């Protein structure tokens, strides 16, 4: 079995990896790995690699393993064995082909969802190890092309989608105009110093999902909140450099974001429904800048909607009448424990909530996060087929009556959309904001 | 024979225990210093309450989701580790030797119980061996070193059982017992067996991150 190709997508061509590898020599690989092991690898990396007793108990935590017929090469420890453990063991003396494979494994076969840390008796953080592999790949210039392009966009524009400064402002004003049809006094306040909070979104919102900004504006205006959005770079909270191992850029992006909030003298940052951006602000980007916790208090949309609903700032006119199920995104559930607030919100706005199993911290990943969906079209089918277990989970929820799936995270949304489509599951996908906008009591209705 | 015995229980025992304790101390201190330099997060986010909470969930059988998913392995692993530590520490013969040498002694278990624990350790070693052979996800990860460690763990228990029950060749078995026990002590700090003292830190750190920063369970 192990001599067979890993799957039918074995020979996927990614120009970022392929062209980058053409410039590599075994000497350069050895030098970079040795520099990384001597310079950046710390106690955690060494202890994780040395402590793993090869028990295999992490395997069933991983959707890639479960979905690829339990091929052991897709187990978390199996991925470590094929990448960083081997680099450590051979002190960096590995071939160019080995590194191409390592880049593929770390960037397209692990969503960094940390579910395996909850299944490993030692709590070994395989996501941390895969990020280290990605960082080595970044230094060697063999990051998958699409996500590297996104990282370039961050470097050049401080946003993920090459959105130009004026386009950003135009998009907000366009959404403000649109929303005024519905709510004549609506504002999307730009650059309002001293507002209660700065609303921050990810690059794809102005680019592809502008209606989400519209909806957020309606919700905030209805609740009568004192808010603002920045008119300068720093508005985008997303961070793909965090996932390519470009730690310097990760820190610069987050610095721009925090400084924008500080310049506007807001009390806090409220984020849209995005998971990885929350990880960047709350977990990795802040740490890269030396902040134990974010320097500006940051609240994810789930928590913010929970506040608005539980304090009665927004009220529900008529609950969403289709049965819903909940997908728990890793970065805000395992990453911030918002699962009970998410359920509070779902129950407050929907007639019927049908739980998926497993759920909460134990939910299966969407297979899109951790930058995997950002590796683009070449890897799409590998990603979707690498999560049959999610399709099964969705089917089960559907068989219990769920018609709509709530996924309060952009990456989860993208991943689940593909899974639902390819497997013909026939389920609607919604953000919390979609439903709240639809069911809440709006001024003219009051 | 006596000369070999004296050497094994004299100078070599000192060396073995010296390397065992010194090795563990060196590994822990050097790792902590490295963490101080490169992984400040470990100190920054460490929370004793959440670390302990996580450790307890992972040393008690059936207290974690994964443990409940694998009841047989959970029981075998738990019994194995308890027996592995308890049998040598509370064995009448060991305590007698220590008492003769240093004049200190503590509670010992009946020899019958020690026999049961010894057989439990050996049975678990066979279980782990078979598991490494038959389960594809474990076989894929397994190296020659993993089998060697399993054999080195089993050796002092097998030879000890052999010697105690005066089976043929028990004199040689006694020497082998002492020697293999010393080998085991020496390799603990420098092999995968280091999980013995790294476990509280890896699990504790993940428990701290999950409990104090992520507000989520990690079991």
Residue A1 has pLDDT above 50, yes or no: no
**CB of B20 less than 8 A from some CB of A:** no
CB A169 within 8 A of CB A189: no
Residue of A nearest to B137 (CA): A72
The pLDDT, as a whole number, for residue B161 is 97
Q: Which of B135, B195, B199 sits opposite A56 (nearest CB)?
A: B135
**Chain B residues near residue A46 by CB distance under 8 angstroms:** 31, 34
Q: Report percent pLDDT > 70 for chain A.
A: 97
In tens, the pLDDT along A193-249 reads: 999 999 999 999 999 999 999 999 999 999 999 999 999 999 999 999 999 999 999
8 Å CB contact of A118 and B215: no
CB contact under 8 A, B66 and A121: yes
Chain B CA closest to residue A115 = B218
Q: What's the token pair of residue A339?
A: 């699962």
Which residue in the set B132, B194, B218 is minimally distant from A118, CB to CB?
B218
With CA atoms as reference, the chain A residue closest to B200 would be: A122
Q: Which of B153, B191, B216 to probe the A interface (max A CBs under 10 A)?
A: B216
Render the burial of B101-122: b for 16+ CB within 10 Å, e for the rest: eeeeeeebbeeeebbebbebbb
Mean of pLDDT values over B89-118: 96
Closest CA to A138 of A251, A280, A243, A246: A246
Q: Give the pLDDT band of residue B188 (cuts 50, 70, 90).
A: very high
pLDDT at B1: 76
The pLDDT of residue A69 is: 96
* DSSP assignments along A279-340, one per residue: HIIIIIHHHHTT-SS-SS-EE-HHHHHHHHHHTTSS-BSS-B-S-EEE---HHHHTTT--HH
Question: CB contact, 8 Å: A47 with chain B?
Answer: yes
**Residues in chain A within 8 Å Cβ distance of B201:** 47
Give the closest of B44, B73, B140 to A73, CB-based. Answer: B140
Distance from CA of A300 to the nearest CA of B (A): 13
The answer to whether the Cβ–Cβ distance between A335 and B203 falls below 8 Å is: no
Q: Across chain B, what does the average pLDDT equal?
A: 96
Average pLDDT for A41-51: 95
Is residue A446 scored above 70 in pLDDT?
no
Cross-chain residue pair A43–B34, CB shorter than 8 Å: yes
| DSSP conformational letter for A198 | E
| Placement of tokens 């609506």 in the chain | A186
Going by the DSSP 8-state scheme, the letter that residue B152 receives in this structure is: H
Which domains occur in chain A, in start order? 15-143 (1.10.1060), 159-299 (3.40.50), 316-445 (3.40.50)
Question: What's the rounded Cα separation, in Å, for the pair A398 and A426?
Answer: 9
Residue B183 pLDDT exceeds 80: yes
What distance in Å separates residue B157's CA from the closest CA in chain A?
Answer: 21
Supply the pLDDT for residue A8. Answer: 46
Tell me how crowded residue B135 is: count the other CB atoms within 10 A of its CB. 18
B42 touches chain A (CB under 8 A): yes
CB-based contact, A334 to chain B, within 8 Å: yes
DSSP-derived secondary structure letter, B99: H
Contact B212/A at CB under 8 A: no
User: Of the candidates B37, B140, B192, which has its C-beta nearest A78's C-beta?
Assistant: B140
pLDDT category at A443 given cuts 50, 70, 90 is confident
Residue B170 pLDDT level (bands cut at 50, 70, 90): very high
Residue A65: closest CA among A104, A102, A116, A14? A116
Average pLDDT, rounded, for chain A: 96
pLDDT of residue A9: 47
- Taking CA atoms, A113 is separated from A63, A351, A364, B17, in Å, by 10, 30, 9, 42
> Is it the case that residue B56 has pLDDT exceeding 50?
yes
A125 at B interface, C-beta within 8 A = yes
pLDDT(B70) > 60: yes
Are the CB atoms for A249 and A151 separated by under 8 Å?
A: yes
A359 shares contact with chain B (CB less than 8 Å): no
pLDDT grade for A10, boundaries at 50, 70 and 90: low
pLDDT in tens, A31-41: 999 999 999 99
Contact B192 A118 (CB under 8 A): no
Domains delineated in chain B:
2-213 (1.20.950)
Q: What's the sign of the alpha-carbon dihedral A141, A143, A145, A149?
A: negative
Asked whether this complex has an ipTM greater than 0.85, the answer is yes
Q: Find the residue in B nearest to A119 (Cα).
A: B66
Counting Cβ atoms within 10 Å, is residue A8 exposed (0-12), middle (13-18) or buried (19+)?
exposed
CA distances A47 to A41, A271, A414, Å, are 10, 35, 35
Give yes or no for A59 touching B (CB within 8 A).
yes
- pLDDT tens per residue, range A376-406: 999 999 999 999 999 999 999 999 999 999 9
What residue of A is the nearest CA neighbor of B27?
A: A47
Does the beta carbon of B194 lie under 8 angstroms from any beta carbon of chain A? yes
Nearest to A60 by CA among B7, B27, B136: B136
* Closest CB from B135, B143, B194 relative to A51: B194
DSSP state of A377: G
CA distance A20 to A139: 11
B58 CB neighbours in chain A (<8 A) are: 121, 123
Model pLDDT for residues A246-282, shown as the tens digit of each residue: 999 999 999 999 999 999 999 999 999 999 999 999 9
Which range has the worst mean pLDDT, A113-117, B6-10, B113-117? Answer: B6-10
Which of chain A's residues have a Cβ under 8 Å away from the Cβ of B218? 117-118, 123, 361
**The Cα angle at residue A81 between residues A76 and A86, in degrees rounded to 5:** 150
pLDDT tens across A327-364, in order?
999 999 999 999 999 999 999 999 999 999 999 999 99
The verdict on a CB contact (< 8 Å) between B143 and A54 is yes
């Amino acid at each position: 079995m192990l001599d067979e190709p890993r799957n039918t997508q074995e020979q996927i061509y990614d120009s970022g990896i392929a062209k980058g590898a053409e410039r590599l020599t075994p000497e350069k690989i050895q030098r970079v790995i040795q520099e990384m092991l001597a310079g950046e690898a710390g106690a955690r990396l060494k202890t994780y690699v040395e402590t793993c007793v090869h028990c295999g108990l992490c395997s069933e935590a991983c959707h890639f393993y479960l979905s690829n017929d339990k091929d052991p090469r897709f187990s978390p420890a199996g991925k470590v064995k094929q990448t960083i453990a081997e680099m450590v063991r051979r002190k960096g003396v590995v071939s160019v082909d080995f590194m191409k494979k390592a880049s593929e494994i770390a960037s397209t076969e692990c969503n960094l969802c940390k579910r395996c840390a909850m299944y490993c008796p030692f709590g070994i953080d395989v996501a941390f190890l895969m990020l280290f592999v990605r960082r080595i790949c970044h230094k060697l210039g063999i990051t998958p092309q699409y996500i590297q392009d996104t990282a370039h966009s961050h470097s050049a524009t401080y946003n993920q989608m090459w959105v130009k400064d004026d386009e950003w402002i135009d998009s907000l004003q366009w959404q403000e105009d649109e929303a005024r049809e519905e709510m004549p006094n609506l504002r999307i306040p730009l650059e309002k110093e001293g507002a209660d909070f700065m609303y921050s979104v990810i690059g794809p919102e102005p680019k592809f999902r502008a209606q989400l900004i519209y909806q957020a504006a309606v919700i905030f205006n209805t609740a009568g909140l004192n808010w603002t959005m920045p008119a300068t770079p720093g508005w985008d909270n997303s961070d793909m450099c965090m996932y390519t191992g470009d730690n310097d850029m990760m820190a610069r992006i987050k610095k721009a974001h925090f400084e924008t909030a500080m310049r506007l003298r807001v009390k806090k940052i409220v984020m849209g429904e995005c998971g990885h951006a929350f990880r960047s602000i709350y977990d990795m980007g802040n740490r890269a800048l030396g902040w134990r916790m974010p320097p500006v208090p940051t609240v994810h949309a789930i928590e913010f909607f929970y506040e608005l609903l539980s304090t009665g700032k927004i009220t529900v006119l008529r609950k969403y009448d289709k049965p819903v199920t909940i997908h728990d995104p890793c970065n805000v559930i395992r990453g911030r424990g918002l699962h009970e607030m998410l359920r509070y919100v779902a129950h407050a706005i929907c007639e019927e909530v049908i739980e998926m199993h497993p759920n909460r911290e134990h939910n299966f990943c969407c297979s899109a996060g951790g930058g995997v969906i950002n590796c683009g079209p070449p890897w799409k089918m590998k990603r979707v087929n690498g999560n049959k277990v999610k399709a099964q989970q969705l089917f089960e929820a559907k068989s219990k009556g769920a018609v709509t799936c709530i996924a309060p995270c952009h990456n989860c949304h993208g991943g689940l959309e593909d899974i639902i489509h390819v497997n013909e599951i026939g389920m609607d996908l919604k953000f919390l904001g979609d439903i709240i906008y639809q069911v809440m009591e709006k001024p003219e209705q009051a | 024979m006596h000369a070999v015995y004296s050497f094994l229980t004299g100078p070599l025992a000192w060396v073995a225990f010296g390397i065992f304790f010194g090795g563990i101390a060196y590994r822990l201190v050097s790792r902590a210093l490295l963490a101080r330099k490169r992984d400040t997060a470990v100190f920054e986010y460490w929370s004793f309450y959440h670390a302990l909470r996580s450790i307890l969930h992972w040393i008690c059988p059936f207290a974690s989701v994964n443990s409940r998913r694998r009841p047989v392995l959970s029981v075998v692993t738990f019994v194995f580790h308890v027996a592995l530590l308890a049998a040598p520490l509370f064995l009448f013969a060991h305590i007698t030797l220590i008492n003769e040498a240093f004049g200190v002694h503590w509670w010992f278990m009946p020899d019958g119980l020690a026999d049961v624990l010894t057989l439990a350790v050996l049975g678990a070693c066979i279980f782990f061996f078979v598991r490494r052979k038959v389960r594809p996800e474990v076989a894929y990860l397994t190296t020659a070193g993993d089998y060697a460690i399993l054999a080195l763990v089993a050796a002092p228990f097998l030879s000890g059982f052999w010697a105690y029950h005066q089976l043929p060749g028990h004199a040689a078995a006694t020497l082998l017992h002492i020697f293999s026990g010393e080998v085991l002590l020496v390799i603990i700090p420098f092999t995968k067996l280091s999980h013995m003292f790294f476990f509280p830190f890896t699990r504790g750190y993940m428990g701290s991150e999950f409990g104090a920063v992520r507000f989520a369970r990690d079991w």
